[in-house]
């Protein structure tokens, strides 16, 4: 009898060990990292005339990507935190910004839209509350769960302006399928930032080598 109980205990314990990561993932919620002034990130570009700084913080390691519910790396998506700080006394406008990541090999990457990310991660399963797609448009098919949907909605960089003496931040997601070493030697370009009069600021260029060098030390 004792042997039977011991065997049952071992079976139950082994099952719990297998289920533990799944249970932890189910209980996990995305929490946006605290946005720091852009100049505090290693990879940044400061325009002294306009007093605007643009910074990037790639989430390219397992430790950093642990904040997410969605396993973006498994879908060949690289999350990159974009932070824009405005130290001037006038707002800057962001509604027409165009971000681009250019790798050392010359690959030009633009951020994936929400619809594209939904397509990547919509692998239907029988568990969890589901949000049927197409959502928000009828072009998207499949399903994502509620936590994934809320994360994609909340994580994306969506700021349309940066008020004086403040910062805005959010994630861009780059498709790195078949791209080797997307960060080392890469440069990030941001155009379309405008001052309060509607004039375009000079483009921002952020060398990602500043990040990779800092991360290696």
Tokens of 14: 């082994």
- Give the per-residue pLDDT at 215: 83
Lowest mean pLDDT among 49-53, 67-71, 125-129: 125-129
> What does the mean pLDDT of the chain come to?
85
CB 207 within 8 A of CB 187: yes
CA Rg value for the chain: 21
Query: What is the mean pLDDT of the segment spanning 161-166?
Result: 98
Poorest-confidence range of 12-16, 152-156, 194-198?
A: 12-16
Instruction: Give the three-class secondary structure for 126.
Output: coil
Looking at the predicted structure, is the pLDDT value of residue 190 above 70? yes
Q: What angle do CA 82, 96, 91 make, to 5 degrees?
A: 75
Q: How confident is the model at residue 165 (pLDDT cuts 50, 70, 90)?
A: very high
Whole-number Å distance between alpha carbons of 54 and 74: 28
Fold held by 32-113+156-217: Immunoglobulin-like (2.60.40)
Residues pairing with 108 in the sheet? 102
Q: Which of 183, 70, 171 is nearest to 111 (CA)?
A: 171
Q: Supply the pTM of this predicted model.
A: 0.80
Measuring CA to CA, which residue among 163, 79, 66 is closest to residue 117?
79
Contact between residue 41 and residue 208 where contact means Cβ atoms under 8 Å apart: no
CA distance readout (Å), 206 to 18, 19, 55: 43, 42, 7
Structure tokens at 15: 């099952």
Residue 217 CA to residue 212 CA, distance in Å, equals 9
DSSP 127: S
pLDDT at residue 10, rounded to an integer: 60
115: burial class by Cβ within 10 Å (0-12, 13-18, 19+)? middle
Q: Give 89-143 pLDDT, tens digit per residue.
A: 999 999 999 999 999 999 999 999 999 999 988 864 444 444 444 444 344 445 7
- Say what the pLDDT of residue 195 is: 96
């Amino acid at each position: 009898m004792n042997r039977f109980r011991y065997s049952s205990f071992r079976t139950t314990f082994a099952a719990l060990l297998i289920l533990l990561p799944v249970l932890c993932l189910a209980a996990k919620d995305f929490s946006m990292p605290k946005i720091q002034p852009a100049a505090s990130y290693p990879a940044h570009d400061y325009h002294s005339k306009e007093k605007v700084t643009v910074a990037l913080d790639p989430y390219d390691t397992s430790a950093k990507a642990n904040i997410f519910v969605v396993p973006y790396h498994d879908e060949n998506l690289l999350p990159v935190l974009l932070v824009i700080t405005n130290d001037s006394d006038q707002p800057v406008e962001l509604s027409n910004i165009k971000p681009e990541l250019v790798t050392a090999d010359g690959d030009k990457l633009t951020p994936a839209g929400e619809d594209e990310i939904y397509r990547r991660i919509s692998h239907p399963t029988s568990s969890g509350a589901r949000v049927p797609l197409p959502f928000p448009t009828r072009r998207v098919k499949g399903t994502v769960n509620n936590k994934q949907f809320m994360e994609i909605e909340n994580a994306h960089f969506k700021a349309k302006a940066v008020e004086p003496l403040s910062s805005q931040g959010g994630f861009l997601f780059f498709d790195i399928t078949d791209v080797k070493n997307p960060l080392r030697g890469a440069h990030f370009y941001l155009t379309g930032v405008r001052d309060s009069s509607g004039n375009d600021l000079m483009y921002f260029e952020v060398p990602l080598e500043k990040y990779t060098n800092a991360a290696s030390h």
